[in-house]
Each structure stands twice: as C-alpha cells, then as structure tokens.
Amino acid sequence: MKRYILLIATLVTMSCGNKTDNKPVEIKDAKAELMKTISQTEATALQATKSIDPILADSLMRLYDRFTTLYPQDTLCPFMMSKAVDVAANTKNCVRALEFLERITDKYHNNTYVEWAYFYKGTVYADVCGDKDKALEAYGFFLDNYPQSSFAQDATVLLNMLKLNDEMQLIREFEAKNSEQ
C-alpha cells in the first residue's frame, strides 16, 4: 500500500510544478523525475514474482504513455512504447497491446522499432488475443513488407506453425524436414 501512495504522491508532485520562467530546467527535472518513477515502478512491479501485479502493470503502461505524450520527440519514445506493449501482452491485455503497437507504427515511421512492431503484432494476435486469422494476416503483412528483416525467418516459422491444423501435423512436418538433412 505504501508503494501505491508513494507512486500517487510522486505523480501528484510532478503535475503540481512551480511555474517559473525557467522552463528548460523544469522540463529536464520533470523528465528525470518521470524516468525515475518509471524505473521505480518497474522494479516494484517485477520484484519477487514472475508475474506482474495488474494494478502495477496498469501504472507502468500509464507512465510509459505519459512519457511519450509529454516528450513525443524524445528518441526513447519507441522504446517506451515497446515496453508498454510487453506489459500489456504479459497481462493478456490484447486491446492495449495492439494500441501501443499501432502508435509505434503510426508515429515512428523510420525507427527500428517499427519493424519489430509489425512482427510482434502477429505474436500478440496469436498469443494474447487468440485470433489465429489476424495473426496469419499480420505475419503475412510483415513478410510482404520486410522480407529482409532479421525477424523474417521467425515470422515464416510462426506463420507456418499457425497454418498447421494440429500438433501431430507439426511433428510430422518437423520429422520430414529433419530426415531431409
């Protein structure tokens, strides 16, 4: 409970800043404070467990979102969005994971995270949303648009696995490929 109070107090303190003409210093201080809050919340969220507390997960996603809203030109924004995607995916929040992925692809066109976001969209559809058809579509889109990507081989394997009807068919395919070698 103390952690939540500390987090809320930090966020309230950050939002109630001193209004002076020293804006660049305030922005740097606010940004540093936000980064510190993100780091503390991440450490708390992952402390002593393999799974993340849903309330802390929501707090983390909001902090990542706040960072990208307050500092949209910062080079860390795509990274922060990718972390938000991971938290959303790990808490099985399909809608938020997809929203964060869309923000990466829409806002950061020339960033290296865009390629990852298109690839990971297939994984989110398959593993988080449970939508095999959308996953197939996402992996297909990725392979059509990024055939030379370092993720292309993984996308091909995952696409082929999704196309198989059952585990026995997957085993037969695997054995057939091994016998060819």
37 vs 137 pLDDT, higher one:
137
Within 10 A of 43 (CB to CB), how many other CB atoms are there? 9
Q: At what angle do helices 77-90 and 54-70 cross, to 10 degrees?
A: 160
Task: Please give the Cα distance from 45 to 67 (Å, whole number).
Answer: 18
* CB contact at 8 A, 41 and 92: no
Structure tokens at 25: 């210093």
Domains and CATH numbers, the chain: 2-180 (1.25.40.10)
pLDDT at 41: 78
pLDDT at 177 over 80: no
Structure tokens at 85: 């995607």
Q: Mean of the pLDDT values across residues 145-154?
A: 95
Instruction: Please give the model's pTM, rounded to 2 decimal places.
Output: 0.72
